[in-house]
């Protein structure tokens, strides 16, 4: 399994992230990235690159720049237009493309953007390939063309993606009788999700499906699922789903007023796949952030939770290494490796909705899962020095771990997509988790926080 690579200048755990117009998303760097991607696929005997994007106002310009670079390298570009990240991951291997480029900053606000890359298998590029691309981009000196026209869109690709999803469940109207409240985060799922679930028989209530370039993830979507929760509370036969801006995540809400994150979905999926005889390897792959309660609940089923660093690429790599076919993250990235190469919020929602129609309300499937109290805090930072160099912080971290005495967990890590450090503490009771999370976060704030 590859491990996260630090001290990069371009790539984080999920592609290149930043503010458009500023390094690493300035025109010259994005164009150089397109050149490097095109050169890479041509060096490997290919020549076709598929591009997609989310609904941010900056996305068309960034897509045009990276596309111009790809074309200048001698490769061909096809633009799928606004599509979820997992749609590009599905379509690249399906249609024989050599790489995919997705312009999106996922769950971040509209001011941010990013560029994600997938290989010809639809999976995110391994660390080594990203390092090669980064080195090529940083030594490039090509001038950006004076005129970079927008990329023409191939509209048939969106319908092909929907056809691939519809084929994942049997019958013409497998969701008859279910009401789905869909929060599409004013993002890439805004048109596709209502169309998909409506065509399969569900009664759809669509929220936040009117993107204007600046309202993506704005108080809506998977980071803000309470609006969906309020709409389904107390309404039997209803299921709420909140996607993020590029629709690779899904968080669920139930009529009982519960929110179900990725850990809950992994537990539900493991039960169904185990009963159907389709779960491979007796393992489920999660991350350092997966709740200890999930580990215990899976053990009751005779399954092992294997943890990897945060980032769905590391989940997929471990799944491939172990020949496993179920993995994911609490954030709502769920990977059904038999169905696709990466996490797909629409696919996850489709499977969960079908299980609800077939087997009953989602709460029934969650009875064996008891979450351990967990507190997660984020501290905005002005720098990212190694945590072990931060004065008295390592001693405080050891003190917290000793206090939990093996009955909880502490995870402190820098985000790969934002300038923050995450502090997560699990404990036997909520007060203990709260206490240590705040002590650690306060120490980090005093040492490297932006407010200092």
Structure tokens, 249: 């995540």
Selection from 203, 218, 236, 185 nearest residue 345 by Cα:
185
- Tell me which of 106, 222, 290, 415 is the catalytic residue: 106
Report d(CA 113, CA 220) in Å as an integer: 17
Distances, alpha carbon 136 to alpha carbons 22, 32, 35, 42, 139, in Å:
19, 8, 9, 14, 5
Residue 242 token pair: 């909140």
Which of 371, 432, 370 lies closest to 401, judged by CA?
Answer: 432
The DSSP string of 117-160 is EEETTSSBPPHHHHHHHHHHHHH--PPPPS--PPPPB-THHHHH
Euclidean distance between CA atoms 279 and 326, whole angstroms: 7
Q: Which of 213, 313, 342, 332 is nearest to 263 (CA)?
A: 332
Q: How many residues does the chain have?
A: 452
Neighbours of 245 (CB within 10 A): 34
Residue with tokens 């590859």, as numbered in its chain = 2
How far is 207 from 139, CA to CA, in rounded Å? 45
Q: Taking a C-beta distance cutoff of 8 angstroms, is the pair 264, 369 a contact?
A: yes
Determine the Cα–Cα distance for residues 6 and 356; give it in Å rounded to an integer: 42
Burial of 347 (0-12, 13-18, 19+ CB in 10 A): buried
- Taking the C-alpha atoms of residue 233 and residue 255, their distance in angstroms, rounded to an integer, is 4
SS3 80: strand
Which residue do the tokens 């036969």 mark? Answer: 237
- Give the tokens for residue 263: 């850990």
Task: Check if 106 is active-site.
Answer: yes
Residues with a known catalytic role: 106
């Amino acid at each position: 399994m590859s491990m996260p690579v630090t001290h990069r200048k371009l790539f984080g755990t999920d592609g290149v992230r930043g503010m458009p117009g500023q390094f690493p998303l300035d025109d010259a760097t994005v164009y150089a990235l397109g050149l490097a991607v095109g050169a890479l696929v041509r060096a490997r005997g290919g020549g076709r690159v598929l591009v997609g994007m989310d609904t941010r106002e900056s996305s068309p310009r960034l897509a045009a720049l990276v596309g111009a670079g790809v074309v200048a390298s001698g490769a061909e570009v096809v633009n799928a237009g606004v599509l979820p990240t997992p749609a590009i991951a599905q379509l690249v291997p399906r249609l024989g493309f050599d790489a995919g480029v997705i312009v999106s900053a996922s769950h971040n606000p509209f001011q941010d953007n990013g560029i994600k890359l997938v290989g010809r298998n639809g999976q995110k590029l391994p660390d080594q390939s990203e390092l090669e691309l980064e080195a090529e981009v940083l030594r490039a000196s090509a001038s950006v063309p004076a005129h970079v026209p927008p990329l023409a869109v191939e509209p048939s690709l969106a319908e092909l993606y929907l056809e691939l999803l519809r084929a994942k469940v049997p019958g013409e109207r497998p969701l008859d009788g279910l009401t789905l409240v869909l929060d599409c985060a004013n993002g890439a799922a805004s048109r596709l999700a209502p169309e998909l679930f409506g065509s399969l028989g569900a009664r759809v209530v669509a929220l936040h499906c009117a993107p204007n370039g600046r309202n993506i993830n704005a108080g809506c979507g998977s980071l803000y699922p309470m609006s969906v929760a309020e709409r389904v509370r107390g309404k039997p036969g209803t299921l709420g789903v909140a996607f993020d801006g590029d629709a690779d995540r899904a968080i669920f809400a139930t009529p009982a007023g519960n929110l179900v994150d990725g850990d809950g979905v992994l537990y539900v999926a493991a039960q169904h796949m185990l009963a159907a005889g389709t779960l491979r390897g007796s393992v489920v792959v999660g991350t350092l952030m997966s709740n200890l309660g999930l580990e215990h609940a899976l053990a009751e089923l005779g399954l092992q939770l294997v943890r990897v660093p945060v980032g769905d690429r590391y989940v997929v790599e471990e799944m491939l290494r172990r020949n496993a076919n179920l993995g994911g993250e609490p954030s709502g990235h769920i990977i059904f490796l038999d169905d696709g190469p990466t996490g797909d919020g629409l696919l996850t929602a489709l499977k969960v909705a079908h299980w609800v129609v077939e087997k009953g309300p989602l709460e029934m499937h969650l009875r064996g899962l008891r979450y351990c109290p967990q507190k997660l805090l984020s501290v905005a930072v002005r720098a990212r020095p190694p945590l072990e160099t931060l004065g008295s912080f390592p001693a405080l971290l050891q003190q917290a771990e000793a206090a939990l005495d093996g009955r909880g967990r502490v995870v402190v890590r820098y985000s790969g997509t934002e300038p923050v450090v995450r502090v997560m503490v699990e404990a036997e009771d909520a007060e203990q988790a709260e206490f240590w999370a705040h002590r650690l976060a306060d120490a980090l704030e005093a040492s490297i926080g932006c407010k200092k």
